[in-house]
Amino acid sequence: MRTTFSGIEIARRALQAQQLSLDVVGQNIANANTPGYSRQVAVHKAAPPYPMPQFSHNPVNGMMGTGVEIAKISRMRDEFVEMRLRQETHNHSYWQTISDGLEQVELIFNEPSNSGIQQALELFYNALQDLSKASENEAVRSVVIQRGAVLTEAIQHARFQLGKLRDNMNDIVSIKVNEINTYATRIAELNEQIVKVNSAGYQPNDLLDERDKLLQELSKLTNIEAVVDQYGAVTVSISGATLVQRTEVFKLQVRSSNQPVTPPYDRVEVVWQGSNSLVEFTGGEMAGILKFRDVYMQDFLTELNQWTADLINTVNSIHSQGYDLQGNTGIPFFVLADGSATVTASQDPSLTITMNIKEGWQIAASSKVDDDGKTIAGNGEIALKLAQLRNTPINGTENTIGGLYTAIISRLGVRALEGKSMVNNGEALVNHLKNMRESISGVNLDEEMADMIRFQNSYAAAARYMTAIDEVLELIINRMGLFGR
Amino acid sequence: MRITNNTLINNMLRQLNSGLGRLGQYQEQLASGRRVLKPSDDPAGIVSISQLKTSLFENQQLLSNVDSAYSWLDSADTVLASVTSVMHRAKELTIYAATEVLSDSDRYAIQEEMKQLFDNVLQLANSTHSGRYLFGGQKTTTVPFTRESLDPNDPNFFNIVYQGGRSDDGTASQSLEINANSVLDLSLVQTKVNADGKVEDSLFMPILSTFRKIIADMEQGNVSDLSSVDIEQLESALDNVLSYRAVVGAKVNRVQMAKERLQELKINFNQLLSNAQDIDVAETIMQLKSEEYVYRTALAVGARIIQPSLVDFLK
């Protein structure tokens, strides 16, 4: 036997369930464009039935349904896709950072162009050739000085800009460390709220979305591993060292390094605030910045310094074999700002390279002096020897000065190209995973519309059912037993 | 795979973006005419581009060197031609002076003209080309041939001292690169040390000393020397000048060949550089067109598919 009014209860539950589902549809439509939002679904479930009351136990009669209830509002999310996306994001942003940096290096060298070092070098050689033709001529001598100055300026510009780019990386490291700390703090705060809500028996969908979004942002900055524990709190670690554990944050900090590097400069490193041990970055922007700064930039600076050293030392040593117009042996052609004439691979790039020769007569173009110690002005043999450096291999290598420079540029090109293709590959993967995530968690408006109609119709039907029950009860209450009145 | 509205929009935006990126690349290539704008555009090509640029710069310089060599040798040849004609006149005068029937005034006039010719040769020996002495070797700023005395009455007035560069210490030559690492010696100066320990050049000094002897013989009326030894000396000096002119001719020949070679190389290098770094305009425009077509299609398709949803059809 069922109670007279149970129909009203079923109708009420149906109305409520459809209405709540409509609310969820509304929430989905509202958040269709919210970044990080995961589609929610109100899961309908038949309410627990009860055995039909009867005089004798007869299981064949089955149980009475009590209508519908909302089991939970579930959040459509695939943790595996999220994890893969985080991993690919490390990799992608690592290469993106390196590739962006290399693009800047390409701009600094500005080759091939009519304003790069190569052009300046070729013009310098041509000026020396002209000098070998008319070595007594003041005008030709001053052209050599001008061209030499252009060459040193071009080299100095590249060295200075490279050094500056490398130093900028230090500032960026500090900014990124701050960002990581901020994200970690917010994740810890969310952990606290999520654990609270979870323990009260609810599912904190929107808080989880927010936390996943933060993890995604964080994985752009650094490689992270994220593990969710049984209470719903996420533990975040960088290369095995914990960054966030439940509500606790282990912050990073920047300090200046005392590790010697070549060429030397003031560089910063990232350590754990508590233990002072170095943070091991293997992915994300942080790893990209550090790799770019410590490997790529240092390599380019070392190579450029080495090349500058080869150029300066070779030119100076040939020049010192000659005589200037006043009968003195040649002074160093190029010098560093501190006056030294020798450049090494580990030179500080901020140490300026300049022309040591200021006056035309100082160029030791001639290889001979006469018996009175006077320079033979028309002898341009040293100038010719300098001009022939264009085709002369140096230092026992197979390469000329120009060839060595081209080798640097070619290596830069190979690296930049590698960076670009890694970025493209990473982008394809990240996009694929984003599409996969969107396919699971994204909101499809057509689908929501269809659901809306569905729930709307169900609501209308439930209301009609309520009306039917009402009419039935009306009949019982108001019309029954009136016979013969 | 479940497709959402945002999937469509994101994909469309990404495709449009990369399409626009490729269009931008072609635009940059077409606007600059270059295929290689950054080292990463073609890291291997950069090496040959640099080498070709170096070769072109060198070629340009060598061509200018060759032109300088040419004009230098031209000047030298002009001087030698003038010297030859002066010597012919000197020979005529010497033969004239060797006859005994001349009057004193005639003899005086011949003497004076011979002195003029001496001055003439001395001037020619000291000729310059763009400020450099043609026949002084590397001592381009020192007057190579000077008189021992500037007093016309001094017997040493016709004695000439050579002060230019010397063969024995290597200062006579004037090297000029006309091919990569191959040097041409432009200088015509050759010197030797004579019995007195003085340095003599072997082009002008024989002429000038012959002239000096002829002038002295004319003054002394030494007809027998004038008619025999002097003429012979003059002949041999003339032969010497002619052999120098042959040397100039040979050098001009070498310079001309070098110039032709350099001009051919210049064309080749330019061609190769263009192959290495320039775009094929027709091909790039074709690629641009096809990329533009893809881009337009993507726009049109995007505009169609992102607009409607079920909302438009529900009442």
For residue B173, give the chain A residue with the closest CA.
A379
CB-CB under 8 Å, A112 with B277:
yes
Mean pLDDT (chain B) is 90
Mean pLDDT confidence for A170-175 = 93
Res B113: pLDDT: 93
Question: A79-109 and A401-441 are packed helices; what angle lies between their axes, rounded to 10 degrees?
Answer: 150
B59 located within any domain = no
Q: Which of residues 152-171 of B touch A (CB under 8 A)?
A: 165, 169-171
Same domain for B286 and B245: no
CB-CB under 8 Å, B39 with A413:
yes
What secondary structure does DSSP assign to chain B, as a single string?
----HHHHHHHHHHHHHHHHHHHHHHHHHHHH-BS-SSGGG-HHHHHHHHHHHHHHHHHHHHHHHHHHHHHHHHHHHHHHHHHHHHHHHHHHHHHHHTSTT--HHHHHHHHHHHHHHHHHHHHHHT-EETTEETTSTT-TTS-SEEES-S-TTSGGGG-EEE-S--TTTT-S--EEEEETTEEEE-----EEE-TTS-EEESSHHHHHHHHHHHHHHHHHT-HHHIIIIIHHHHHHHHHHHHHHHHHHHHHHHHHHHHHHHHHHHHHHHHHHHHHHHB--HHHHHHHHHHHHHHHHHHHHHHHHHHS--GGGG--
Tell whether the model's pLDDT for residue A349 goes beyond 80.
no
Strand partners, A354: A335
Contacts with B174 from chain A: Cβ below 8 Å = 378
Residue holding tokens 């942002």? A217
Query: Any idea what the Cα angle at residue B200 is, between residues B151 and B123, rounded to 5°?
Result: 50
For residue B311, give the chain A residue with the closest CA.
A449
Using alpha carbons, select from A107, A96, A110 the residue that is nearest to residue A419: A96
Q: Which domain holds residue B306?
A: 5-50+278-314
Q: What percentage of chain B has pLDDT greater than the value 90?
A: 53
Same domain for B99 and B15: no
Same domain for B175 and B212: yes
Same domain for B298 and B169: no
B178 located within any domain = yes
Contacts with A416 from chain B: Cβ below 8 Å = 38-40, 43
Q: Which of residues 178-197 of B touch A (CB under 8 A)?
A: 180-181, 183
CB-CB under 8 Å, B311 with A112:
no
Q: Does B53 lie at the interface with A, CB-CB under 8 angstroms?
A: yes
Mean pLDDT confidence for A255-268 = 85
Strands A241-245 and A248-249: antiparallel
Question: From the CA of B266, how many Å to the nearest CA of chain A?
Answer: 16
Q: Which of residues 124-143 of B touch A (CB under 8 A)?
A: 130-132, 136-141
Please indicate, yes or no, whether the overall pTM of this predicted structure exceeds 0.95. Answer: no
Mean pLDDT confidence for B140-145 = 89
Long-range contacts, stretch B235-238, CB < 8 angstroms, 24+ apart: B235/B91, B236/B206, B237/B87, B237/B206, B237/B207, B237/B210, B238/B84, B238/B87, B238/B88, B238/B91
For residue B129, give the chain A residue with the closest CA.
A134
In this predicted model, what pLDDT tens digit does every residue of B304-314 receive, in sequence order? Answer: 888 778 888 88
What band does B117 get if pLDDT is binned at 50, 70 and 90?
very high
Tell whether the model's pLDDT for residue B46 goes beyond 60.
yes
What band does A60 get if pLDDT is binned at 50, 70 and 90?
low
Res B139: pLDDT: 87
CB-CB under 8 Å, A377 with B141:
yes
Same domain for B290 and B178: no
Same domain for B210 and B110: yes
B284 located within any domain = yes
Contacts with B16 from chain A: Cβ below 8 Å = none
Distance CA B9, CA A477 (A): 59
Contacts with A379 from chain B: Cβ below 8 Å = 138, 165, 171
Question: From the CA of B278, how many Å to the nearest CA of chain A?
Answer: 12
Res A475: pLDDT: 87
Question: A284-291 and A205-221 are packed helices; what angle lies between their axes, rounded to 10 degrees?
Answer: 10
Which residues, other chains included, contact B246 with Cβ-Cβ below 8 Å and sequence gap of 6+? none
Report the phi/psi class of residue B197: left, alpha or beta, with left for phi > 0 and alpha for psi in -120 to 50.
left
Name the token pair of B269: 């290098």
Question: From the CA of B188, how many Å to the nearest CA of chain A?
Answer: 14
Same domain for B228 and B292: no
Res A485: pLDDT: 62
CB-CB under 8 Å, B40 with A420:
yes
CB-CB under 8 Å, A434 with B174:
no
Dihedral (C-alpha) A182, A188, A194, A199: value to the nearest 10 degrees? -170
CB A289 within 8 A of CB A268: no
In this predicted model, what pLDDT tens digit does every residue of B186-210 receive, in sequence order? Answer: 888 888 888 888 888 889 999 999 9
CB-CB under 8 Å, B57 with A439:
no
Tell whether the model's pLDDT for residue A217 goes beyond 60.
yes
B232 located within any domain = yes
Domain count, chain B: 2
Name the token pair of A411: 């290596």
B206 located within any domain = yes
ipTM entry:
0.85
B55 located within any domain = no
Same domain for B231 and B105: yes
Same domain for B80 and B41: no
CB-CB under 8 Å, A136 with B141:
yes
Distance CA B183, CA B70 (A): 14
Which residues, other chains included, contact A123 with Cβ-Cβ below 8 Å and sequence gap of 6+? A147, A150, A151, B57
Same domain for B168 and B43: no
Dihedral over Cα of B254, B255, B259, B265: its sign: positive
Same domain for B13 and B100: no
Tell whether the model's pLDDT for residue A127 goes beyond 70.
yes
CB A150 within 8 A of CB A125: no
CATH of the domain at B154: 1.20.1330.10
Q: Does B49 lie at the interface with A, CB-CB under 8 angstroms?
A: yes
What band does B226 get if pLDDT is binned at 50, 70 and 90?
confident
Question: From the CA of B246, how many Å to the nearest CA of chain A?
Answer: 23
Tell whether the model's pLDDT for residue A50 goes beyond 80.
yes
What does the longest C-alpha to C-alpha distance in chain A come to?
158
Choose the weakest-confidence range: A12-16, A54-58, A424-428, B307-311.
A54-58
Q: Does B30 lie at the interface with A, CB-CB under 8 angstroms?
A: no
Dihedral over Cα of B66, B71, B72, B73: its sign: positive
Using alpha carbons, select from A363, A378, A355 the residue that is nearest to residue A318: A363
Using alpha carbons, select from A134, A375, A344, A167 the residue that is nearest to residue A256: A167
Distance CA B53, CA A405 (A): 13
Q: Does B176 lie at the interface with A, CB-CB under 8 angstroms?
A: yes
Distance CA A56, CA A58 (A): 6
Res A484: pLDDT: 66
B62 located within any domain = no
**Which residue type, as a one-letter code, is found at position A268?**
V
Contacts with A32 from chain B: Cβ below 8 Å = 5-6
Tell me the three-class secondary structure of chain A, residue by residue.
CCCCCHHHHHHHHHHHHHHHHHHHHHHHHHCCCCCCCCCEEEEEEECCCEECCCCCCCHHHCEECCCEEEEEEEECCCHHHHHHHHHHHHHHHHHHHHHHHHHHHHHHHCCCCCCCHHHHHHHHHHHHHHHHHCCCCHHHHHHHHHHHHHHHHHHHHHHHHHHHHHHHHHHHHHHHHHHHHHHHHHHHHHHHHHHHHHHCCCCCHHHHHHHHHHHHHHHHHCCCEEEECCCCCEEEEECCEEEEECCEECCEEEEECCCCCCCCCCCEEEEECCCCCECCCCCHHHHHHHHHHHHHHHHHHHHHHHHHHHHHHHHHHHHCCCECCCCCECCCCEEECCCCCCCCCCCCCCCCEEECCCCHHHCCCECCECCCCCECCCCCHHHHHHHHHHHCCCCCCCCCHHHHHHHHHHHHHHHHHHHHHHHHHHHHHHHHHHHHHHHHHCCCHHHHHHHHHHHHHHHHHHHHHHHHHHHHHHHHHHHCCCCCC
Query: Any idea what the Cα angle at residue B171 is, between residues B170 and B176, rounded to 5°?
Result: 95
Of the candidates A390, A405, A419, which has its C-beta nearest B58's C-beta?
A: A390
Contacts with A106 from chain B: Cβ below 8 Å = 38-40
Distance CA B236, CA B204 (A): 12
Tell whether the model's pLDDT for residue A132 goes beyond 60.
yes
Mean pLDDT confidence for A446-475 = 93
CB-CB under 8 Å, A449 with B309:
yes
Report the phi/psi class of residue A400: left, alpha or beta, with left for phi > 0 and alpha for psi in -120 to 50.
beta
Mean pLDDT (chain A) is 90
CB-CB under 8 Å, A126 with B57:
yes
Dihedral (C-alpha) A377, A378, A380, A382: value to the nearest 10 degrees? -30
Same domain for B307 and B252: no
Question: From the CA of A1, how many Å to the nearest CA of chain B?
Answer: 44
B144 located within any domain = yes
Res A59: pLDDT: 66
